[in-house]
Structure 1
Amino acid sequence: MKHSAFLSRPLDARSPVPQGFATFVASAGIRNHTRDIAVVHAEVPCAVAGVYTRSHFAGAAVRASRTQLAKGSARALLVISKNANVATGVQGEADLDLLLETLSQELAIAPDEIQTAATGVIGKRLPVERIAACLAETRERLSRPPDFLSFAEAIMTTDTTRKAVAMRVGKSVLIGVAKGVGMIEPDMATLLVYFFTDARIAQPALQSMLAQVADRTFNCITIDSDTSTSDSCVALSSGLAGPVETNAFADALLDVASHLAMLVLRDGEGVTKVFTTIVEHAESDAVARAVAKSIANSPLVKTAIHGADPNWGRVAMAIGKCDRKFRIDPQRTRISICGTCVYPAADEAALAALRGTMAAAEHIELRVDLAAGHGRAEAWGCDLSPAYVELNSHYTT
C-alpha cells in the first residue's frame, strides 16, 4: 500500500461527481447539534459490494447490510452517526427496521434496497422519533448534484476533518468517503468507508475488487488495535457512465482506498506521527503480516515513535512475542529504522543521528528482514500520545 503520490485528489467543490446519485444530510440531535444523518439515493439500481466487521458484537445495521448485500443491487444508503445501535437487542433491530421503512417510503423504494450503517456510542438506544422525523424530509431535500462533502461531514464522530477523495477513471468518476479515528484495527474492511462510481462494473467483479482492495489497505492499518463493532466498507456503482477497463478501475479503487486509509491514520485520535512496518523474507505472507501487525500494535513501539526514540529493543520484543510456530531466528533477523540498521549493530553516534531523523520525520519506516523465506507484508501504524488517553477516558461523559 502506497503512502504518497496518490493520483486521487481531495474532494472539493470543483471535483467531478458520478452520475445517478443524490444526497441528504440532517441533524437529529443524537449527541449534539452537528449533522448526524446521511442518505445517498441512487436514481437507478446500483451494483453493490460490501465487506463488514467480523466482530461478535456486530451492530444491527451491519447485520441488515450483510443480508441486503445478497440482493446484489441497492438504491440507497443510510448512515447514522454518534450512536452505533450496538448491543441494543431486539429493540435495536426493531428501531432500525422502522427507520428503513420510513426512508423507503420517502424514496419510493423497498426497505431491502437500502444499505445502512450506524457508528458512535455502544449500548444506547437510537432516538428513533427524532431520526424518523428527519428522514421524513428526505425527498424534498435531496441535493442534486450530490454533496459528498456534506455526507462526509455528517458521518463523522470524533474525526477532526472530512475524509473524501475523487478520481476520474476513463469517462467515469470514483469518489471515496471515510470516517474513523479510533477503535481501529480493521478485521474486514474498516471504519465506515463508501465508494460511489458511475462506472459500469458487474456486481461479482466489484465485490471481488473491493474485498481485495480492503485487504491491501484498510486491513493493514491500526491506530489502537481495537476492531469496531460497526466497520463497513461498501461500493455502489450506477453504471451510467458506461463500461470501464477492469484493471484501470481496480487500480483507481486501490489508489482511492490507500489515500483514505492514510487520511484515517493521520487523523487518528491523538496521532502526531505515522509509521510503516515492512516485514520481508518471512516464511509466508501470512507470517509477515502477523509480525508487522505485532510491531504496529505494540504500545511500547508506539510510544517510542511518539518520543522519536530509536529503541529497537521494543521492535525486537514485538517480533519475539509472535507465535512460537513462526520461523524467527534472532541471529538472522535484521531491524532498520528510517534506513539505518539498528540490529544487530548500531553505535551511539548512529542512534543519536537517528533520533534527530525521527523527530523531524512525519512518516517513519521500520523494516524487518527475517531471512526465512519470500513472505512480505506491510502494516501502517501511528504513535500513542497522551491526547489519545485523554480523549478516550471521557468519551461518554
Structure 2
Amino acid sequence: MTHDHASTQDPSPLAWPTGFRAYTGHGGLREHGDDISIVASDQPAVSAAMFTQSLFAGPAVVLSRAHAAAQNLRAVTTLAQNANVATGRQGAENAAEVVRRVAGILGMPEDEVLIGSTGVIGRPLPMPTIRTHFDEAARRGLAAFTAGPLDVARAMMTTDTRPKTAIRTVGPARIVGIAKGVGMLEPNMATMLAYVFTDAGVSPADLDSALRTAVDRTFNCLSVDTDTSTSDTVAVIANGAAGPVDPAEFSDALADLCLDLTRQMAGDGEGATKLLRVTVAQAGDYKQAKRIAKSVVNSPLVKTAVYGADPNWGRVLMAVGKNTDDTDIAPSNVTVRFGGIEVYPEEPKADTLGKLVDIMRRDEVDIAITLGLGQAEATVYGCDLSADYIRVNADYTT
C-alpha cells in the first residue's frame, strides 16, 4: 500500500541503504543455520528506538535502552533462539560481553551498539560457543560483512515461517526494514524485533517523532495472542548518506514500511492460516476505536470462527460488549460488516450466507464495526487461531 508518490516500493533487488553493511553466522544458539547477525553503518548516524514495557524486560532491552538514549546508535546485533531473559546478573554480563565484542569488530564505542535477543526465556546464553564464534568473526573483520537484508531477516527468525523485509524510497534515500515475530505478540509501546535502516538525512527529533507515530498506527495495532514479549524492540538508524529529505515525506514512508511489516507478521502468526483485519469507525476517539478493535481481534472465539470460516457475528458483538467501561456504546447505534456485507443490525438473508462463508474463507478477512459516536477510526491486525498454534507452543522447549 502506498500513501503518496514520496513513499513507494522500490522495484530493485533488496539491498542495504548506502553506507550500511551486515554479517550473519552460526553461533551455536540453534542446531542449524545462522543465529547471530550484525547490521552497521560505516559512518556516524542518528537513531530512535522503543522497547517493551514488560516488567521482565531482558538484559538486552535494559542495555539497549541505555545505549539508545543518546540517539546515536550505529549498529544492531541480534541473537536468535535465546531471549537471555530471567538469567540474573550473569545474563546482564553476557549481553554486555556480546556488545563489547561486536563494538570491537566494528571499531566503534560500545554505547553505539544495540542488542536484541529473542527466543526461549530462562536459559543462559551458550557463551563458550558464542565466544568462539566472535573470535573467528573478529579474525575475519569487516571482510565477513557480506550479508543482505534477507540473510539477516532469516538469521533473526525463531518460530517464523518466512523472513520479513520491506523497502521504501523517499527522494534519493532508501528505507529498509527487517522484522521477526509471530508469537508472544501483543505490542505495548514497541513490538517484537523490528529494525529500520536508512541513508536519509533526518534530525534526531524528526526521527523519534516519525518512529513513535508509525509504531502507534502499525506495530501497536498488531496482536497475535495478547501476550507482550519481554524482548520487544523497534529501532531506526539513519546515517544521512543520501542527503536530507522532507521530514513529512519520510514520516509517511516510514509508517508505510512499518505497516507492511505489521501485515507480514500478522499473516505469519503462529499456526495462522489467515490475516484478520478489524476496523472500528465512528468512535468517540482514536483510543476507543483501537481498544474496541483490539478486543475483537484478540477474542479466541472470533479468531476460531475466522479459522473455521464461520460468519458468527454474535461473537463480534460479544467482543465489543465486554468493554464495559465504554458506557457510551449503545447496541442500537452499532453496525457490523463482514467483507462489506452487513450482518448486524440487519441480519443477512439466507441467500447471502454462502457469500459470507466465501468471505471468511479468504486469505485476508475484514471485519468492520461502526459505533455511531464520532469520527475516529482505527484498524488493527491479527490472525485466526488454529490447532497448530497450540502445537507450536506446547512443544516449544521440548
TM-score, scaled to structure 1:
0.94
Does the alignment pair 1:64 with 2:28?
no
Does the alignment pair 1:192 with 2:193?
yes
Distance (whole Å) between structure 2 residues aligned to residue 90 and residue 256 of structure 1: 37
Q: 1:85 to 1:316 in 2, by over 3 A?
A: same
Residues 138-161 of structure 1 show CA distances to partners (whole Å, capped at 9, x for unaligned) of 342545565222111111111111
Q: 1:157 to 1:203 in 2, by over 3 A?
A: same
Does the alignment pair 1:108 with 2:107?
yes
Aligned counterpart, 2:50: 51
Residues 244-291 of structure 1 show CA distances to partners (whole Å, capped at 9, x for unaligned) of 111221121111111111111111111111121111112221111111
Distance (whole Å) between structure 2 residues aligned to residue 350 and residue 300 of structure 1: 25
Residue 117 of structure 2 aligns with an amino acid whose one-letter code is A
Aligned counterpart, 1:202: 203
Distance (whole Å) between structure 1 residues aligned to residue 145 and residue 27 of structure 2: 22
Residue 44 of structure 1 aligns with an amino acid whose one-letter code is Q
Distance (whole Å) between structure 1 residues aligned to residue 352 and residue 397 of structure 2: 42
Once the two structures are superposed, the pairs formed by residues 1-397 of structure 1 within 5 Å of their partners are: 7-8=8-9, 14-139=13-138, 140-142=140-142, 143=144, 147-397=148-398
Residue 129 of structure 1 aligns with an amino acid whose one-letter code is P
**Range 131-140 or range 86-95, more displaced:** 131-140
Distance (whole Å) between structure 2 residues aligned to residue 292 and residue 307 of structure 1: 20
Distance (whole Å) between structure 2 residues aligned to residue 241 and residue 216 of structure 1: 27
Distance (whole Å) between structure 2 residues aligned to residue 137 and residue 210 of structure 1: 36
Residues 336-362 of structure 1 show CA distances to partners (whole Å, capped at 9, x for unaligned) of 111111111214515522333224422
The alignment partner of 1:310 has SS state of coil
The alignment partner of 1:240 has SS state of strand
Distance (whole Å) between structure 2 residues aligned to residue 288 and residue 2 of structure 1: 23
Runs of at least 4 residues of structure 1 off by over 4 A? 143-146
Distance (whole Å) between structure 2 residues aligned to residue 38 and residue 212 of structure 1: 27
CA contact (8 A) 1:25 1:150 kept: yes
Deviation at 1:381, TM superposition (A): 1.8
Q: 1:180 to 1:370 in 2, by over 3 A?
A: same
Deviation at 1:167, TM superposition (A): 2.3
The alignment partner of 2:160 has SS state of coil
The alignment partner of 2:235 has SS state of strand
The alignment partner of 1:261 has SS state of helix
CA contact (8 A) 2:36 2:156 kept: yes
CA contact (8 A) 1:192 1:232 kept: yes
Aligned sequence identity (%) = 40
Distance (whole Å) between structure 2 residues aligned to residue 376 and residue 395 of structure 1: 37
TM-score, scaled to structure 2:
0.94
Residue 336 of structure 1 aligns with an amino acid whose one-letter code is R
Distance (whole Å) between structure 1 residues aligned to residue 255 and residue 154 of structure 2: 23
Residues 64-121 of structure 1 show CA distances to partners (whole Å, capped at 9, x for unaligned) of 1111111220232111010001111111101111222222222222211111110000
Where structure 1 has 5 or more consecutive residues not aligned to the other structure, the ranges are none
Distance (whole Å) between structure 1 residues aligned to residue 166 and residue 219 of structure 2: 15
**Range 79-88 or range 133-142, more displaced:** 133-142
Give the RMSD, CA atoms, in angstroms: 2.0
Residues 9-53 of structure 1 show CA distances to partners (whole Å, capped at 9, x for unaligned) of 58x8x3343111121111111121221100112211210110111
CA contact (8 A) 1:118 1:230 kept: yes
CA contact (8 A) 2:81 2:118 kept: yes
Deviation at 1:327, TM superposition (A): 1.1
